[in-house]
């Protein structure tokens, strides 16, 4: 009979232990389910935040690109407006030189003649200084 009681007690203990384990397993499963739900919510929130951030970054980049393009267009317009003015000024200068070519040739010729005359005078004076006084008086015939 003791063996029957021991078997009965062992079966009861095993049954109680199995119920406790099942209860703990159920609680763990419930906690896992809650954690999975929380994780899913967190993942959705993170994905939404990342998408929002990416959209904002793309919008800011597009705005900056638009501003840069506007500045480039303005610079291009300025260059395009100033180019004809510069070309006209250069053409005007060239035309003035062409019209005044005779005057420029005369001025250049006169400058060359003046330089030649000045050189001749300077060389004669230097040559005269090298002679002694008697040679200067006689024109180089005596006292050379």
Q: What is the pLDDT along the chain (144 residues), one digit of tens a residue?
A: 555 566 667 777 777 777 778 788 778 877 777 777 777 777 677 767 777 877 777 777 778 878 887 887 788 778 777 878 888 888 888 888 788 888 888 888 999 899 988 988 888 777 656 777 888 788 878 776
What gap in Å lies between CA 144 and CA 136, rounded to an integer?
9
Q: H/E element holding 24?
A: helix 2-99
What gap in Å lies between CA 114 and CA 73, rounded to an integer?
56
Q: pLDDT at position 29, please?
A: 75
Q: pLDDT at position 8, please?
A: 67
pTM: 0.35
What gap in Å lies between CA 76 and CA 80, rounded to an integer?
6
- Residue 129 near residue 120, CB atoms below 8 Å: no
- Chain-centroid distance of CA 80 in Å reads 23
What gap in Å lies between CA 84 and CA 81, rounded to an integer?
7
Q: pLDDT at position 101, please?
A: 83
Taking each helix axis from N to C end, the angle separating 101-129 and 2-99, rounded to the nearest 10 degrees, works out to 80
Q: pLDDT at position 83, please?
A: 78
């Amino acid at each position: 009979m003791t063996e029957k009681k021991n078997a009965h007690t062992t079966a009861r203990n095993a049954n109680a232990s199995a119920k406790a384990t099942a209860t703990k397993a159920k609680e763990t499963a419930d906690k896992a389910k809650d954690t999975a739900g929380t994780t899913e919510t967190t993942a959705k929130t993170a994905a939404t935040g990342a998408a929002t951030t990416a959209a904002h970054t793309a919008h800011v980049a597009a705005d900056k690109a638009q501003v840069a393009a506007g500045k480039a267009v303005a610079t291009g317009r300025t260059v395009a407006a100033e180019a004809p003015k510069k070309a006209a000024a250069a053409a005007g200068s060239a035309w003035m030189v062409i019209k005044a070519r005779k005057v420029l040739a005369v001025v250049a010729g006169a400058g060359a003649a003046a330089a030649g005359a000045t050189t001749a005078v300077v060389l004669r004076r230097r040559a005269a200084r090298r002679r002694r006084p008697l040679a200067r008086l006689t024109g180089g015939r005596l006292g050379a």
